[in-house]
């Protein structure tokens, strides 16, 4: 089963979300490859933990599969191609896994305002799209689709009233101080463009910031361990 959400109801959804099966070796290896591209949570042991949480129905992993032609790779067919080859290409295109996203009913440390075991509050996590597919609104449609799943049992609940997310503070892209934008050089990373923060992106979709705290562990080039500032955001879907 896949779940489509169209934000305007005037055009097809740009993606479907397909539940992932981490007991399937193909799904496990594809997720591991995508996590390595992401650069976070890329160890097999982490995915094994996620698999256990999926078995416990506390974490729900989905593949992001584009449906709009603008997001599908161009298929060039020659006169020598058979109909069966064309059908195979079409089937592969229909299940092109360009990223993944997660909906979960727990957070660590536990906080019922962020995610609740009764699924009245669900949290977005583990969201990644391959770089070549990040234009054209695919990410926005994936989040909108996930909001639909949050109201759908057994992944979410009809009683779900809010979806939350935590992400890196926009200050890391807007504040020139050494503590924020200046930190990228000390981490050996390129400084991000202004106006392109995750916080701003979620805000445009109706997510409202309600808390900040140090959360994400990282390390500077000199070995100093730090915690990056996270913002907690929530959207009412009741």
Do both 197 and 175 map to the same domain?
A: yes
pLDDT band (50, 70, 90) for residue 70 = low
Tens of pLDDT along 10-49? 455 689 999 999 999 999 999 999 999 998 899 999 999 9
> What phi and psi values does residue 172 have, to the nearest 5 degrees?
-70, -15
User: End-to-end CA distance of the chain, in Å?
Assistant: 23
Using DSSP's 3-state secondary structure scheme, residue 229 falls into: strand
Do both 109 and 195 map to the same domain?
A: no
Do both 152 and 235 map to the same domain?
A: no
pLDDT band (50, 70, 90) for residue 2 = very low
From 18, 14, 24, select the one nearest 3 (Cα to Cα).
18
Do both 62 and 142 map to the same domain?
A: yes
Give me the number of domains the chain comprises. Answer: 2
0.85 surpassed by pTM:
no
Do both 117 and 15 map to the same domain?
A: yes
Question: Which residue in this structure is represented by tokens 């962020």?
Answer: 114
Identify whether 77 is part of a domain. Answer: no
The percentage of the chain sitting over the pLDDT mark of 90, rounded to a whole number, equals 79
> Residues 40, 131, 138, 63: what is their CA dihedral angle, to the nearest 10 degrees?
-50
Would you say residue 84 has pLDDT above 70? no
Identify whether 4 is part of a domain. Answer: yes
Do both 46 and 150 map to the same domain?
A: yes
More confident residue, 211 or 85: 211
Counting every residue, how long is the chain? Answer: 238
Range of the domain at 128: 1-70+85-157
């Amino acid at each position: 089963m896949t779940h489509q959400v169209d934000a305007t109801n005037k055009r097809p959804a740009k993606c479907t979300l397909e539940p992932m099966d981490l007991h399937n070796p193909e799904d496990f290896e594809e997720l591991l490859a995508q996590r390595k591209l992401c650069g976070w949570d890329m160890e097999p042991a982490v995915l094994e933990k996620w698999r256990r949480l999926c078995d416990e129905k506390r974490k729900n992993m989905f593949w992001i599969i584009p449906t709009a032609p603008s997001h599908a790779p161009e298929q060039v067919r020659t006169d020598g191609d058979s109909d069966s080859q064309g059908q195979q290409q079409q089937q592969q295109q229909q299940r092109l896994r360009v990223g993944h996203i997660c909906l979960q009913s727990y957070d660590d440390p536990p906080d019922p305002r962020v995610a609740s075991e009764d699924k009245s509050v669900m949290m977005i996590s583990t969201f990644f799209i391959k770089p070549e597919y990040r234009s054209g609104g695919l990410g926005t449609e994936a989040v909108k689709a996930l909001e639909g799943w949050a109201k759908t049992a057994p992944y979410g609940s009809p009683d779900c009233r809010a979806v939350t997310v935590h992400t890196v503070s926009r200050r890391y892209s807007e504040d020139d101080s050494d503590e924020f934008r200046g930190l990228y050089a000390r981490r050996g990373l390129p400084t991000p463009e202004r106006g392109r923060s995750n916080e701003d992106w979620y805000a445009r979709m109706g997510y409202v910031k309600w808390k900040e705290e140090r959360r994400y562990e990282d390390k500077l080039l000199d070995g100093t361990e730090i915690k990056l500032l996270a913002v907690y955001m929530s959207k009412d879907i009741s």
